[in-house]
């Protein structure tokens, strides 16, 4: 059955659930999200709220994530996070063979591993010694999550009941076993993290791509780089949102523009079971599942998709320069009520828990990387094509001296 695509802000808000609307309860929204995400459950053996519809699982996960974010903020506010990011950059360089041959290295690999190291120490396991983390655990975990995510996109939802009740049946079980081994080494506390992937994917998988796409836009722009230098001099939420006297720019605008042009989720899916006539429900209850599947009696699923990328690239909403990376566009909106809605973190009751945390975290990581590559006389080299999870062909981090001709 063809999916219904939602292409206006109003339709997307209605689909994802307006926080003030009683039309869709949180329970119903959880069911629609979990059903749409079953491919991730089967690929990664996830057991968190993104693939489970139970409200107690949702409340527990949300509470745990909020506790992690609050704890990170209490530890020296953002200054401590920046310290960890700088440490992580140094560790990442030391993980390479200390010769001129250590570079070039693939840009996305560098950002993935560096960001994962930061997430582990700054958020998930703050008592962890940075030096104790094995670079191979980071590299393998990042590589396999990205690989398996791509594979998951090839999987289709054809029947509600088998998907909701079956255990993980991923054909990539060897990769999953290897991934779980390395994730357990990164997060060894089995009481806090009985299934580490439940927390690594929500905290890392989106963040590294925001960092990478932002760097791709700003690394050659002196004005943009200066904004991040100023943020590192004063790593506070106030500095993040305040425009500088010289450039009339702020890091908040740069990150927002990154999220607009490159939303981490270009489409947000929700799925609904189509109610069948009572007679068919009765017959299905009497017959084995294998028979009902063969007879085509399994519940049908209606897919609804929010076209986030389409909204973010709408000329009617953002203007004729919609395809340009133009952070100053955010200065046009002096009245919050007139600012177009950014759907990068979803919307409604199930909006991303890190909505108010991730932009600042991404900005500090970007700033620390820009600072580090300048200090170490490295450079980012890429093409005009900016990737997402994949598509970074030609992008690399290299030594300036080693490549002088």
**What is the secondary structure of 267-301 as a DSSP string?**
EEEEEEEPPPPHHHHHHHHHS-HHHHHHTT-SPPE
Peptide bond into 172 cis (omega under 30): no
pLDDT band at 74 (very low <50, low <70, confident <90, very high): confident
- Quote the pLDDT of residue 155: 61
**pLDDT interval class at 276 (50, 70, 90):** low
C-beta neighbour count of 67 within 10 angstroms: 10
Closest CA to 128 of 181, 80, 188: 188
| Per-residue pLDDT band at 298 (split at 50, 70, 90) | low
Task: Tell me the H-state helices in 37-125.
Answer: 38-44, 55-74, 77-94, 107-119
Q: How confident is the model at residue 39 (pLDDT cuts 50, 70, 90)?
A: very high
45-49, 152-156, 174-178: the lowest-pLDDT one: 152-156
The pLDDT score that the predictor gives to residue 157 is 47
Superfamily of domain 4-403: Cytochrome P450 (1.10.630.10)
Digit-coded pLDDT (tens) for 105-136: 999 999 999 999 999 999 999 999 999 999 99
Q: Which residue has the tokens 């491919």?
A: 39
240/217 Cα distance (integer angstroms): 18
Average pLDDT over residues 289-316: 84
Q: Give the residue-averaged pLDDT of 330-338.
A: 87
Average pLDDT score over residue span 380-400: 92
The string of DSSP codes covering 302-367 is: EEEEEEHHHHHT-HHHH-TTTTS--GGGGGG--SGGGSPPP-TT--GGG--TTTTTHHHHHHHHHH
The structural domains of the chain, with segments of one domain joined by +, span: 4-403
Return the pLDDT at 193. Answer: 97
Mean pLDDT throughout 69-79? 89
Confidence check: pLDDT of 162 > 50: no
Question: With pLDDT > 70 as the criterion, what percentage of the chain qualifies?
Answer: 86
Question: What is the average per-residue pLDDT within 145-163?
Answer: 70
Alpha-carbon distance 141 to 183, whole Å? 6
The number of C-alpha atoms within 13 Å of 135 and in the hemisphere containing its C-beta is: 14
Flag whether pLDDT at 188 surpasses 90: yes
Q: What pTM was estimated for this model as a whole?
A: 0.90
pLDDT for 119 equals 98
Under the banding of pLDDT at 50, 70 and 90, the label for residue 25 is confident
């Amino acid at each position: 059955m063809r999916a219904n695509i939602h292409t206006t802000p109003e339709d997307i808000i209605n689909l994802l659930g307006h926080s003030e609307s009683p039309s869709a309860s949180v329970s119903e929204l959880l069911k629609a999200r979990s059903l749409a995400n079953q491919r991730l459950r089967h690929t990664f053996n996830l057991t968190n709220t993104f693939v489970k519809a139970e409200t107690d699982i949702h409340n527990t996960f949300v509470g745990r994530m909020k506790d992690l974010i609050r704890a990170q903020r209490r530890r020296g506010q953002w200054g401590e996070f920046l310290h960890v990011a700088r440490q992580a950059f140094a560790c990442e360089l030391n993980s390479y063979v200390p010769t001129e041959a250590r570079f070039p290295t693939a840009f996305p690999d560098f950002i993935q591993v560096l960001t994962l190291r930061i997430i582990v120490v700054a958020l998930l396991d703050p008592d962890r010694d940075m030096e104790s983390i094995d670079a191979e655990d980071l590299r393998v975990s990042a590589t396999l999550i990205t690989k398996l995510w791509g594979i998951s996109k090839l999987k289709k939802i054809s029947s509600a009941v088998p998907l909701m009740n079956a255990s993980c049946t991923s054909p990539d079980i060897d990769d999953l076993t290897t991934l779980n081994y390395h994730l357990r080494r990164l997060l060894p506390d089995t009481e806090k993290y009985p299934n580490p992937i439940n927390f690594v994917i929500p905290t890392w998988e989106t963040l590294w791509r925001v960092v990478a796409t932002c760097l791709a836009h700003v690394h050659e722009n002196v004005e943009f780089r200066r904004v991040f230098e100023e943020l590192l001099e004063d790593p506070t939420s106030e500095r993040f949102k305040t425009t500088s006297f010289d450039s009339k720019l702020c890091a908040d605008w740069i990150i927002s523009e990154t999220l607009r042009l490159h939303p981490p989720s270009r489409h947000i899916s929700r799925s609904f079971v189509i109610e069948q006539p009572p007679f068919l429900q009765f017959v299905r209850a009497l017959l084995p599942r294998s028979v009902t599947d063969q007879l085509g009696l399994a519940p049908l699923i209606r897919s609804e998709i929010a076209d986030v990328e389409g909204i973010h690239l709408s000329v009617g909403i953002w203007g004729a320069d919609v395809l340009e990376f133009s952070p100053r566009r955010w200065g046009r909106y002096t009245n919050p009520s007139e600012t177009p809605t950014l759907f990068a973190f979803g919307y409604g009751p199930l909006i991303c828990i890190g909505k108010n945390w991730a932009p600042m975290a991404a900005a500090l990581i970007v700033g620390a990387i820009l600072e580090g590559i300048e200090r170490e006389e490295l450079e980012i080299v890429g093409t005009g094509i900016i990737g997402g999870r994949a598509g970074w062909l030609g992008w690399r981090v290299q030594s300036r001296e080693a490549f002088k001709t």
